[in-house]
Structure 1
Amino acid sequence: MTRRTHTHPDLTRPGADAPFFSHWQVGTPERQAATVEAVARAWERRPWGSPELLSYHLYTGLDGSSLMHHSQWRSEQGYEAFVRTHRQERNDEIDTAVPGIERVRLDRYRRYRSHPRADGDRRVAGLVVTVRIDFDADAAGKRADFVDLVLETLAGPDADPGLIAAHFHLSTDGTHVLNYAEWESGRAYDAAIAGPESPEWARVRTFPGVKGFTGRRYRHALGLEP
């Protein structure tokens, strides 16, 4: 069966070799809440979708109109089998409850490296920030070097105490990096980005091949597990 949890996912979970992130637009905070509950009902009243699926988490965007989904799969083949057999009936039920959902995109990744939480740190993230870093078409091979530079910077004196952990994913299509960052609170994140830019962070911002950065803020709303 399927159970609901409020525990945030472990982005470093062993076996989660095919992490996916997808985005929906639903329009208003009221529709955000209704969609979260519709997703929960569609899953809880059915058996767990696949032994290949380790967990499924849903986040509400602080913009009041978006949702982010994060699913941890053992393999892409497991996801494709689920799509063929079980996804549509869930989507149909959700769409009946909340008509007009716009399913914007689904991106597939491999987690490359993480800036892990410190030993003994039991804080629960009050804010999840995703930053998508897009690269020029001929710069896919530079993505790992970019992440290495960011992690080197985070390990130095510029590390912010409000940052709990950061997890860097390489898109399988070669176009971008996704940083899933866990922050203590929105206030801590605001303070971090309001500070002066150090030379180390300037190197990150001007890294060769980077086209741009897109950041979004979320709160964890729902976790589903077998």
Structure 2
Amino acid sequence: MTGTSRTTRRTDSHPDLADPRVGAPFFSAWRVGAPLRQRRSVEAVAAAWERRPWPADDLLGYHVYTGHDASTLLHYSQWASEQAYEAFARTRRQERVDEIDTAVPDIERLGLTRYRHYRSRGPADRGGRTPGCIVIVDVEFEGPDSARQHAWVDAVFEALANEPAPHPGGISAHFHLSTDGTRVLNYAEWDSAQSHLDALSAPGDGIGSATALWERVQTWPGLKSTTVSRYDHALGLVPD
């Protein structure tokens, strides 16, 4: 891990999920229990980070999202490598955790999953639009199989390319493969939560229309579960 004397600053800008410098994107979730505790937890994270120098040149950004379930937080960190994260975890993570836990006791940390970015769909500049809602689609398979992860995402892209009625509210989709071979995470940007709800209520099972290509995606051998959650971008932290 490369040391740094740079300061930490907040940003309202959404992260670039397809940034080629990000070699180790990590996602994790906290259950905090109520909207007020969501807000307090976000502010506690901000305070714990802003009072300290940016921990590593190899950390490109750290973003926190509040769940529309009014109970959870999603964390997304953009590391250049897993080794850089491990160095941070050994030397600089615990002091931040302790400060946050003092400010907001009894946070339930649901675990961190390590991913690699695989494929993205949508204009690099988001078509000039600002996401109003982040939709996380978490797909779990029965056991590790890297080839299956890749093939399933490729099938989704084929279904998207042949979608007869794409919803205009969708901005982008960024597919990540877990390093243990068992999960796929799609970080999808929408212009609003209502647009996503409208797309879900359209004919078909999920976002896609009732086509053979989407049925293939939804009945993929070994597909264990699919969870869809909506979030708001609440905090961005980057080096200054």
Band of TM-score, shorter chain:
over 0.9
CA RMSD of aligned residues (A): 1.3
Q: 1:163 is matched with which residue: 157, 170, 185? A: 170
Q: 1:210 is matched with which residue: 223, 227, 230? A: 223
State the distance in 2 between where 1:120 and 1:53 align: 23
Change in Cα spacing, 1:119 to 1:48, as seen in structure 2 (3 Å) is closer
Q: Which residue of 1 aligns with 2:4?
A: none
Q: Which residue of 2 aligns with 1:128?
A: 134
Q: 1:181 is matched with which residue: 188, 193, 210? A: 188
Instruction: Measure how far apart 1:140 and its partner are.
Output: 3.8
1:10 aligns with 2:23: no
Instruction: Measure how far apart 1:202 and its partner are.
Output: 1.6
Instruction: Measure how far apart 1:119 and its partner are.
Output: 6.2
Instruction: Measure how far apart 1:120 and its partner are.
Output: 6.8
Deviations 1:66-108 (A, max 9, x none): 0000000000000000001100001111011101111111000
Percentage identity across paired residues of the two chains: 58
Q: Which residue of 2 aligns with 1:141?
A: 147
**For the Cα contact (< 8 Å) 1:129–1:181, is it kept in 2?**
yes
Instruction: Measure how far apart 1:138 and its partner are.
Output: 5.7
Q: Which residue of 1 aligns with 2:97?
A: 91
Q: Which residue of 1 aligns with 2:156?
A: 150
Change in Cα spacing, 1:158 to 1:210, as seen in structure 2 (3 Å) is farther
State the distance in 2 between where 1:83 and 1:36 align: 20
Moved more, 132-141 or 39-48: 132-141
Deviations 1:12-62 (A, max 9, x none): 112101000010011100000001001001100100011110000000000
* 4+ residue runs over 4 A deviation: none
**For the Cα contact (< 8 Å) 1:139–1:209, is it kept in 2?**
no
Q: Which residue of 2 aligns with 1:102?
A: 108
- Give unmatched runs, 5+ long, in structure 1: none
Q: Which residue of 2 aligns with 1:23?
A: 29
Change in Cα spacing, 1:145 to 1:37, as seen in structure 2 (3 Å) is same
**For the Cα contact (< 8 Å) 1:153–1:159, is it kept in 2?**
no
Moved more, 203-212 or 99-108: 203-212
TM-score (norm 1): 0.96
Instruction: Measure how far apart 1:139 and its partner are.
Output: 4.2
**For the Cα contact (< 8 Å) 1:140–1:176, is it kept in 2?**
no
State the distance in 2 between where 1:84 and 1:120 align: 36
Change in Cα spacing, 1:118 to 1:98, as seen in structure 2 (3 Å) is closer
Q: How many residues align?
A: 226
State the distance in 2 between where 1:140 and 1:11 align: 21
TM-score (norm 2): 0.91
Instruction: Measure how far apart 1:191 and its partner are.
Output: 1.0
Moved more, 200-209 or 96-105: 200-209
